[in-house]
Amino acid sequence: MSDSLIILAIPGCALAAAMLIALLGPRLLRGQSHWVAIAGVAGAVAAAAHLLYDAVPGLGEGGRIAGTLYRWFSGDGFTARIGYLYDHLAAIMLVTVTGVSLCVVLYSRGYMKGHRGYPRFFTYICLFVFSMCTLVLADNFLLLYLGWEAVGLCSYLLIGFYYERPTASAAARKAFVVNRVGDFGFGLGVLMIWLTFGTLDYGQVFAQVPGASAGALTAIALLLLCGAVGKSAQLPLHVWLPDAMEGPSPVSALIHAATMVTAGVYMVARSMPIFAHAPGVLAVVAIIGAATALFAATIALVNNDLKRVLAYSTISQLGYMFLGLGAGAAGAAVFHLFTHAFFKALLFLGAGVVMHAMADVLDIRRMSGLARRLPITAVAFFAACLALSGIPGTAGFFSKDQILAAAFTSPGLGRLGPALGWVGLVTAGLTAFYTFRLFMRVFAGPDVLPEETHGHVHKPSPWMWLVLVALAIPSIGAGYVGGWLLHTLGLAGLAEAHAEPHWLLWTSGVVAVGSAFLAVLLYGPARDWTLATRVDQTAFYDFVSNKYFIDELYDAVFVRPARALGRLCTMIDDRVIDNLLLGVTWAPRGIGRGLRAVQRGSLGAYAMIFAFGAVLLMAVLWLLT
């Protein structure tokens, strides 16, 4: 089989599975719909792994594969193509996306068992995987945009899967609307690329970038950044991601780990030739990333909802990736994307086990000591916590430190680089603290169960805990494999080489270990609540725990005025426009009622009126001539 056919099989397997489940699931497959989803996503994984094997120099032929499936439409010098581009960046992205998606599908077999929307769930999941693979394989900005919007649509369907819950429906609408804000800028960026370069193909656009005007490149880069900020939940468009927790836990893992939220990072990395030649834009990317990383980490520090702590952690880690992109180290950002996918998927799926066991209770203040009741989940969750915290030797340590090194040593950021590097280092300390705060409150300490459980803990099915064990391995070891793989694939070519200072290596490790140890002291088995209680009673704690009141600010500035404008337009439509239209009809109605009075059924009267009208008409014509 040719490489081109194998490439097409990656999204094709997922799409075929989605179509089969949609057609046969409700009546024929029903509770067995997962087998089609597993087969489809596993086929995509096999194809992606085979291509990656060929892409690694020394293991296969390697190279860059591109082609066109068909021409969509053309006119006035514009041709829209459905084509694909497989290179080293696509190779690592596809393995990450399909691999994590397969874990989510396998886990969902146990988690979603018995739900009445079982076939619908797996249809959405497979359609989501197809959309993400299409986005990654696109060879032009138009197809990238179509995959981008398809991912947004699928996320809307998955977040609102429990549509009978008002909170889930509201969260889905919020995610859709907020992403439309960023996508509007992204769409304008794509349009401006066409106006500037006369093409939307990656190769032709990037070849013309050095000769383009700085102003046009800056405008294009900023507009593309709008889309990335929305999709990857960066400030100020981050507000949709925490509410996306209303979806099932496998959906949270899929969206937050390796698919939707990483699309923004991938798009900026793919468009790096444009960003690198746009004056000052990479600094903007780095500032947004560093600010988002610190901002989200402070909220995760005080949040008591298990899944929302992980959601803000995702926002913070995406900020790290944007910091790496802004520092000119796209390779380091993709490295962190790769490692983050595994341990964050594990954390969300582990949270799903806890949620399943605790009768859907997510308040970490109402549970404790679950390590004795869920030992496998506790061990796997602990491995993911080590990686997220950046403890030396784990996957997160290697990728996080590459980003910090890039920030401290980036010549493109100048004096701004070290300042942002320190922000990243402080964020690393906060990350280790809130991560082990979460672990200690849930899994350590005395046995505390919510009243809703009635003293009974639901054990996870083998489909669930086996996936947790499988993900725990790359959560620790992906840093070794990923570093070698990214270097071998040549992704260092996306960035300048950044030698990590020795002091940073030691400082980063000490900060991570020290912060984790402090969290163990405060929230571990020998916990002393005195200091924690004092902190909880401060005004700053209240301010941060309410997410800096940004949702309330957006509600006051944007949502309420928009609703008021909508009510005003409705009132004008009901009371002015409708009455105006009714007024227009009043005149013919009145004339009709008046003429109706003369309709007496007298033929003589009708003849006289006809004759009078004819004479009047002839008189008018005579006067006019």
Say if residues 235 and 553 touch (Cβ distance below 8 Å).
Answer: no
Q: What tokens does 405 get? A: 């090194």
Which pLDDT band, with edges at 50, 70 and 90, does 61 fall under? Answer: low
Q: Is residue 272 part of a domain?
A: no
Position 460 scores a pLDDT of 86
Tell whether the model's pLDDT for residue 537 goes beyond 70: no
Say if residues 176 and 167 touch (Cβ distance below 8 Å).
Answer: no
Specify the number of domains making up the chain: 2
- Are both 472 and 571 inside the same structural domain? no
Which pLDDT band, with edges at 50, 70 and 90, does 60 fall under? Answer: low
Position 531 scores a pLDDT of 59
Q: Is residue 367 part of a domain?
A: yes
Residue-averaged pLDDT of the chain? 88
Q: Is residue 426 part of a domain?
A: yes
Tens digits of per-residue pLDDT, 313-332?
A: 999 999 999 999 999 889 88
**Between these two residues, 619 and 599, which has the higher pLDDT value?**
619
368: helix, coil or strand? Answer: strand
Dist CA 527 CA 531 (whole Å): 10
Tell whether the model's pLDDT for residue 501 goes beyond 60: yes
- Are both 360 and 465 inside the same structural domain? yes
- Are both 301 and 439 inside the same structural domain? yes
Which pLDDT band, with edges at 50, 70 and 90, does 533 fall under? Answer: low
- Are both 356 and 482 inside the same structural domain? yes
pLDDT > 70 fraction of the chain, expressed in percent and rounded: 93
Position 314 scores a pLDDT of 94
pTM of the model: 0.90
Q: Say how many C-beta atoms besides its own lie within 10 A of residue 218's C-beta.
A: 18
pLDDT > 90 fraction of the chain, expressed in percent and rounded: 56
- Are both 518 and 388 inside the same structural domain? yes
Position 62 scores a pLDDT of 58
- Are both 541 and 559 inside the same structural domain? no
Q: Is residue 368 part of a domain?
A: yes
Please report which helix (H) or strand (E) contains residue 504, including its range.
helix 502-523
Position 440 scores a pLDDT of 92
- Are both 346 and 386 inside the same structural domain? yes
Position 495 scores a pLDDT of 47
Position 388 scores a pLDDT of 94
Backbone phi and psi for residue 494, each to the nearest 5 degrees, phi listed first? -80, -5
- Are both 474 and 558 inside the same structural domain? no
- Are both 475 and 561 inside the same structural domain? no
Residue 561: which domain range? 554-587
Measured at the CA of 416, the angle between CA 411 and CA 422, to 5 degrees, comes to 105
- Are both 435 and 570 inside the same structural domain? no
Position 433 scores a pLDDT of 94
- Are both 416 and 520 inside the same structural domain? yes
Position 109 scores a pLDDT of 92
Tens digits of per-residue pLDDT, 336-382?
A: 999 999 999 999 999 999 998 898 888 988 888 899 999 999 999 99
Position 183 scores a pLDDT of 95
- Are both 560 and 540 inside the same structural domain? no
Q: Is residue 300 part of a domain?
A: yes
Say if residues 362 and 306 touch (Cβ distance below 8 Å).
Answer: yes
Tell whether the model's pLDDT for residue 48 goes beyond 60: yes
Position 493 scores a pLDDT of 47
Q: Is residue 139 part of a domain?
A: no
Position 58 scores a pLDDT of 59
Q: Is residue 340 part of a domain?
A: yes
Strand partners, 85: 66
Dist CA 12 CA 40 (whole Å): 8
Which pLDDT band, with edges at 50, 70 and 90, does 59 fall under? Answer: low
